[in-house]
């Protein structure tokens, strides 16, 4: 007589959680449930974002940045302050000021020369005096670093001499006589400084196609931004102007044709990088797998077999560690490419990096098992029968190796790497290196001690990827839900701490990361539904697969409707609310917004002071023996402008 199969109560509960390969109808039920919950919480979060963004913008209604518009592709007859002001005035929009950007390449070269001279002079003084200084304290009001009071005063002043230490000398050219290095570098700096002053005073700079227009009212700026200004396509394009600290001035006057050429070149470079990057990723992950080690390095495999914990780490975590480490190099490459595109604001670069980095992670992590076979064979198969895409995706991602890999990937991110971020090793280790080997002058120390800036283009893609992976395996590998929850729970604590006490954001970009994130979350949801449809097809359950079609179509329609409804308010501010605030009223829309605002007004006021551009407490720090922070850092600014 045959032994009866194990009954359900005899199974261990962990096995039931880990193996959900039966009851396909439950798979369908939970697919609908998880999709509905995802859409519900995305909708709620979008509502909260719109409320917070509108209210934040209304609190800054009288500030300069919300009243300023960036105009690009100006026709030649509008490339003048007066002409452009009259153009907007004739529309009934009151203009406060107009600044047409100029071609200042010649001035930039002089500024670069001035900066180089200043840095050399500061380095020479530090080399002579030391930092901390070995000389007696000198009153900087009577003994400045550079004397600009005339030749007579310069000749009569007394040299600063450190006892028992010779003043440095150098040869200006190979065969010239040695001269005092400090006096020579001071003269070179004065020469460069005077050249900049002379060029600013007498130089004529040609107007570019870009201008900043500041209106008297924020409502005028909102109307100007949302209006088509020219009958010819591509002329007089208006944007909400970035904050001054957000602007990359060197890219401001980039001609439209040059910007278009850069765009296409970077797109081609991105395609090549995307095409070739998965090769080292798959090769490295394959080489570090236990089977490959056993095949190529039998001695190492025997050593691993002798130790059970090491074998578990090699089998489960090593491929994930390899992939995470290799993909950690991507942001540096992608950010460099994005800078070359010529974006006019740092926030634009940040959000472009977010899009690029997430696309790379999605392909090189989620779809890596699709590329396990011959790449061109896969392309031919999908080209010949596109309807097999769900089946191919499901066959690749439901195999045991893929499931174990993604489970260990989420576990490693949630339990290992996310809590480790509290140590800020990515900030501390480079700064320690700079402090030991590079940093010398007071200005160097002021830059080194400045708080780090958070880059949302690096932070967001990894979190979105974990969400996509967790959702993808939520039904066929339910255990991943626990570790996904651990990841986002620890991420909440880690980034709340870092945003409060570590990171600093010198510019405000109106929360534009969320609309980009919304689109990527919908991508993940669509991939999830296609994957589940492929699972049902693989198991010959065509009826259940067809029942997912309405859910897929409904999700796409919901995403289109939500984007259409919320997108305008995510980019602009409601005119009715602006007019009410400009009149000093708290009625209708403003009252409704404030009713749902979760932050007290005192907290909002403190937050705005922290991010205000004219706040004198921005860079307050107690002076130490190496710097008093009186020399402003040059990093992240137009180099040389102090």
Q: What is the pLDDT of residue 584?
A: 76
Mean pLDDT of 63-78: 94
**pTM for this predicted structure:** 0.86
Strands 95-102 and 237-240: unpaired
**Range 5-9, long-range pairs (CB < 8 A, 24+ positions):** none
Helical residues (DSSP H) of 60-216, grouped into ranges: 81-89, 105-129, 151-156, 181-202
Structure tokens at 307: 């130790």
C-alpha 473: how far from its chain's center? Answer: 28
Residues 215 and 173 in one domain: no
The least confident of 182-196, 332-346, 497-511 is 497-511
CA-based nearest residue to 323, from 369, 292, 378: 369
Q: Is the pLDDT of residue 381 over 70?
A: no
Same domain, yes or no: 247 and 111: no
The predicted model gives 119-146 an average pLDDT of 76
For residue 328, is it within any domain?
Answer: no
Q: Does a structural domain hold residue 449?
A: no
Whether residue 115 lies inside any domain: the answer is yes
Confidence of residue 36 (pLDDT cuts 50, 70, 90): very high
pLDDT at site 591: 60
Q: Are residues 66 and 196 in the same domain?
A: no
Which tens digit of pLDDT belongs to each residue from 402-460? 888 899 899 999 999 999 999 999 889 999 999 999 999 988 898 888 888 899 999 99
CA distance 470 to 49: 24
SS3 243: coil
105-119 pLDDT, tens per residue? 899 899 999 999 999
Indicate whether 35 belongs to any domain: no
In this model, does residue 192 exceed pLDDT 60?
Answer: yes
458-496 pLDDT, tens digit each? 999 999 999 999 999 999 899 999 999 999 999 999 999
Both 212 and 84 in one domain: the answer is yes
Statement to judge: residues 136 and 181 lie in one domain: yes
Residue 45 scores a pLDDT above 80: yes
**What pLDDT is recorded for position 2?**
47
* Residue 7 binned pLDDT confidence (cut-offs 50, 70, 90): very low
Nearest to 347, CA basis, from 488, 562, 550, 508? 508
Choosing from 135, 168, 200, the residue where a domain stops is 200
Task: Assess if residue 235 is contained within a domain.
Answer: yes
Q: 247 and 189: one domain?
A: no
> Tens digit of pLDDT for each residue in 73-106?
999 999 999 999 999 999 999 999 999 999 998 9
Neighbouring C-beta atoms of residue 475, cutoff 10 Å: 22
- The top-scoring range by mean pLDDT among 151-155, 259-263, 289-293 is 259-263
Mean pLDDT of 179-196: 95
* Pair 121, 193 in one domain: yes
One domain, residues 165 and 91 = no
Burial 53-63 (b: 16+ CB within 10 A, else e): bbbbbbbbbeb
User: Helix 330-340 crosses helix 256-287 at what angle (to 10 degrees)?
Assistant: 170
Confidence of residue 609 (pLDDT cuts 50, 70, 90): very low
Q: Are 24 and 541 in contact (CB under 8 A)?
A: yes
Distance CA 244, CA 398 (A): 50
What pLDDT is recorded for position 15? 55
Kindly state the average pLDDT of the residues 289-304.
Answer: 74
Lowest mean pLDDT among 125-139, 350-364, 370-384: 370-384
Between helix 513-538 and helix 24-59 the angle, nearest 10°, is: 170
How many domains are there within the chain? 2
Task: Provide CB contacts within 8 A for 317, sequence distance 6+.
Answer: 408, 412
Lowest mean pLDDT among 27-36, 153-162, 544-553: 153-162
pLDDT surpasses 50 at 400: yes
Label residue 10 exposed, middle or buried (CB < 10 Å: 0-12, 13-18, 19+).
exposed
CB 552 within 8 A of CB 526: yes
Contact by Cβ (8 Å): 545, 536: yes
Question: Could you tell me if 149 and 194 lie in one domain?
Answer: yes
Q: For 343-355, give the DSSP string.
A: -SBHHHHHHHHHH
Is pLDDT above 70 for 327?
yes
Q: In the predicted model, is pLDDT for residue 334 greater than 80?
A: yes
**Domain of 186, in residue numbers:** 107-200
- Please determine, for residue 6, whether its predicted confidence score (pLDDT) is greater than 50: no
68-72, 182-186, 357-361, 367-371: which has the minimum mean pLDDT? Answer: 367-371
Mean pLDDT of the chain: 83
pLDDT of residue 630: 73
- Given a cut of 90, whether residue 522 has pLDDT beyond it is yes
Residues 148 and 127 occupy one common structural domain: yes
Nearest-angstrom CA–CA distance, 473 and 465: 12
In a shared domain, residues 182 and 139: yes
Helix (H, G, I), strand (E, B) or coil at 628: coil
Kindly state whether residue 530 falls inside one of the protein's structural domains.
no
Tell me whether strands 169-170 and 68-72 are parallel, antiparallel or unpaired: unpaired
- At which of 137, 171, 200 does a domain end? 200
Q: How far is CA 169 from the centre of its chain?
A: 46
CATH number at residue 84: 3.30.70.330
Q: Could you tell me if 111 and 240 lie in one domain?
A: no
| 8 Å CB contact between 452 and 427 | yes
């Amino acid at each position: 007589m045959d032994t009866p199969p194990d009954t359900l109560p005899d199974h261990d509960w962990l096995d039931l959680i880990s193996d959900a390969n039966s009851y396909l109808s439950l798979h369908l039920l939970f697919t609908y449930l998880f999709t509905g919950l995802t859409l519900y919480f995305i909708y709620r979060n979008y509502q909260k974002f719109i409320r917070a963004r509108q209210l934040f913008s209304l609190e800054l209604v009288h500030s300069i940045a919300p009243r300023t518009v960036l105009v690009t592709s100006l026709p030649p007859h509008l490339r003048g302050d007066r002409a452009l002001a009259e153009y907007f005035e004739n529309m009934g929009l009151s203009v406060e000021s107009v600044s047409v950007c100029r071609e200042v390449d010649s001035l930039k070269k002089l500024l670069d020369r001035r900066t180089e001279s200043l840095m050399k002079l500061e380095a020479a003084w530090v080399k002579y005096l030391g930092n901390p200084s070995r000389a007696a304290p000198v009153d900087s009001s009577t003994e400045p670093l550079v004397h600009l009071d005339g030749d007579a005063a310069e000749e009569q002043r007394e040299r600063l001499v450190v006892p028992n230490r010779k003043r440095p000398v150098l040869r200006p050219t190979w065969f010239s006589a040695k001269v005092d290095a400090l006096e020579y570098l001071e003269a070179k700096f004065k020469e460069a400084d005077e050249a900049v002053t002379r060029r600013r005073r007498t130089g004529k700079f040609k107007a570019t196609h870009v201008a900043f227009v500041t209106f008297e009212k924020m409502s005028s700026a909102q109307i100007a931004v949302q209006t088509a200004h020219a009958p010819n396509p591509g002329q007089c394009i208006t944007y909400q102007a970035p904050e001054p600290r957000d602007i990359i001035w060197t890219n401001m006057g980039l001609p439209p044709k040059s910007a278009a050429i850069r765009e296409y070149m970077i797109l081609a470079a991105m395609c090549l990088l995307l095409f070739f990057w998965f090769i080292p990723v798959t090769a490295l992950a394959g080489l570090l797998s236990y089977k490959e080690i056993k095949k190529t390095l039998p001695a190492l495999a025997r050593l691993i077999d002798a130790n059970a914990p090491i074998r578990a780490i090699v089998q489960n975590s090593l491929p994930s560690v390899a992939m995470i480490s290799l993909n950690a190099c991507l942001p540096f490459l992608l950010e460099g490419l994005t800078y070359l595109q010529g974006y006019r604001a740092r926030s634009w670069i940040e959000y472009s990096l977010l899009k690029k980095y997430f696309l790379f992670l999605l392909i090189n992590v989620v779809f890596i098992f699709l590329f396990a076979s011959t790449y061109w064979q896969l392309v031919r198969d999908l080209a010949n029968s596109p309807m097999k895409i769900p089946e191919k995706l499901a066959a690749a991602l439901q195999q045991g190796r893929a499931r174990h890999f993604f489970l260990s990937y989420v576990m490693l991110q949630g339990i290992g790497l996310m809590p480790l971020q509290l140590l800020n090793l990515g900030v501390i280790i480079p700064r320690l290196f700079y402090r030991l080997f590079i940093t010398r002058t007071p200005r160097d120390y002021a830059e080194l001690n400045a708080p780090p800036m958070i880059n949302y283009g690096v932070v967001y893609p990894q979190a979105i990827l974990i969400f996509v992976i967790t959702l993808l395996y939520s039904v066929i590998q339910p255990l991943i839900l626990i570790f996904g929850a651990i990841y986002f729970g620890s991420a909440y604590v880690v980034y709340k701490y870092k945003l409060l006490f570590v990171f600093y954001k010198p510019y405000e970009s109106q929360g534009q990361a969320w609309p980009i994130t919304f689109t990527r979350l919908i991508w993940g949801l669509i991939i999830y539904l296609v994957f589940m449809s492929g699972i049902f097809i693989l198991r010959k359950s065509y009826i259940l697969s067809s029942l997912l079609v309405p859910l897929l179509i409904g999700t796409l329609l919901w995403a289109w409707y939500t984007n259409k409804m919320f997108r305008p308010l995510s980019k602009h501010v409601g005119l009715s609310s602006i007019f009410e605030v400009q009149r000093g009223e708290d009625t209708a829309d403003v009252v409704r917004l404030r009713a749902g605002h979760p932050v007290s007004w005192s907290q909002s006021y403190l937050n705005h002071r922290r991010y205000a551009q004219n706040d004198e407490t921005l860079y307050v720090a107690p002076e130490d023996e190496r710097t008093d922070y009186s020399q402003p850092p040059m990093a992240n600014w137009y180099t040389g402008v102090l």
